[in-house]
Amino acid sequence: MWKVVRRILVFLFIAQLAYILLCRWVNPPITLTQMSNLNYGLKRDMIPYSKMGRNIKLAAIAGEDQLFAEHNGFDTKSIKRAVEFNKKHPKRRRGASTISQQTAKNVFLWQGGGFFRKGLEVYFTFMIETLWPKERILQTYLNVAEMGKGVYGVQAAAKKYFNKNAANLTVQEAAQIIACLPNPKKFTVKPLSPYVSQRSAFLIQQMRQLSGNPEIEELLSDQ
């Protein structure tokens, strides 16, 4: 019996490792999040990193993970601050997920909390940080993130909200799309919700401050 279990575990480990490696070059066919929200439809159009444009990449870093170019997948300072905040405010939860962690969750796992899923998220985050370049992590994140009801990825969002390609988004348009990410079903881009309006204005300020940072500028390159 143990031999059978061991063989199954070895097979599953090899299979998931192969899938992680495959996703370095091939876009994931569908995610658990997308499958669980099919009642809203499925609008997505995965595009290459070079077709995303500078503004949406910078907006994502400014809004979701300003240390993305520097860390190894985890922002330990933000995690400590979130833990302390959540202890003091048990009814108001604050997260500290990096873009890498969100990519791991969106591609390989499901939404929601729990120690088991969080443990898997740590593993998959470590793996993609080890096996994928930063550009691929950011590209995948911007291709699979939910950006409205049934809308996934920056190209689908750009087409739906502004009738243009992601590469042509203005600073304000890119900031508005990223501003909806905490809860894209509630915080809408069209019509513009008060939260997205306020949050996007803040993101534009952050984008200006980050612009010119050598590590971020290198990451924003279409190469």
Residue 73 lies in a domain: yes
Conformation bin of residue 43: beta by default, left when phi > 0, alpha when psi is -120 to 50: beta
pLDDT reading at 95 higher than 70: no
Residue span of the structural domain in which 124 resides? 37-216
The pLDDT value given to residue 96: 66
- pLDDT of 130 higher than 60: yes
Q: Are 55 and 166 in contact (CB under 8 A)?
A: no
pLDDT of 55 over the 70 cut: yes
pLDDT tens-digit map of 139-197 = 999 999 999 999 999 999 999 999 999 999 999 999 999 999 989 999 999 999 999 99
Mean pLDDT value across residues 26-54: 93
Choose the weakest-confidence range: 67-76, 78-87, 92-101, 206-215: 78-87
Please indicate, yes or no, if residue 21 is contained in any of the structural domains.
no
**What CATH number is associated with residue 212?**
1.10.3810.10
Q: What is the pLDDT of residue 155?
A: 97
pLDDT of residue 197: 97
- Assess whether pLDDT exceeds 60 at residue 90: no
% the chain with pLDDT above 90? 74
Distance CA 66, CA 206 (A): 9
How distant, in Å, are the alpha carbons of 36, 54, 66, 119, 126 from that of 219? Answer: 32, 10, 12, 28, 19
pLDDT for the residue 116? 86
Confidence of residue 35 (pLDDT cuts 50, 70, 90): very high
Whether 5 is in a domain gets the answer no
Q: Is the pLDDT of residue 83 over 90?
A: no
Q: Tell me, what's the pLDDT at 5?
A: 79
Q: Is residue 9 part of a domain?
A: no
pLDDT of residue 74: 82
Gyration radius of the chain's alpha carbons:
18
C-beta separation of 202 from 194 below 8 A: no
Report the pLDDT value the prediction gives residue 93, as an integer from 0 to 100: 53
Q: Does the residue 31 lie in any domain?
A: no
d(C-alpha 17, C-alpha 22), whole Å: 9
Looking at the 3D structure of the chain, how many domains does it have?
A: 1
Average pLDDT (126-144) is: 97
> What pLDDT is attached to residue 94?
52
Q: Quote the pLDDT of residue 86.
A: 55
24 domain-assigned:
no
Identify whether 130 is part of a domain: yes
Q: Is residue 74 part of a domain?
A: yes
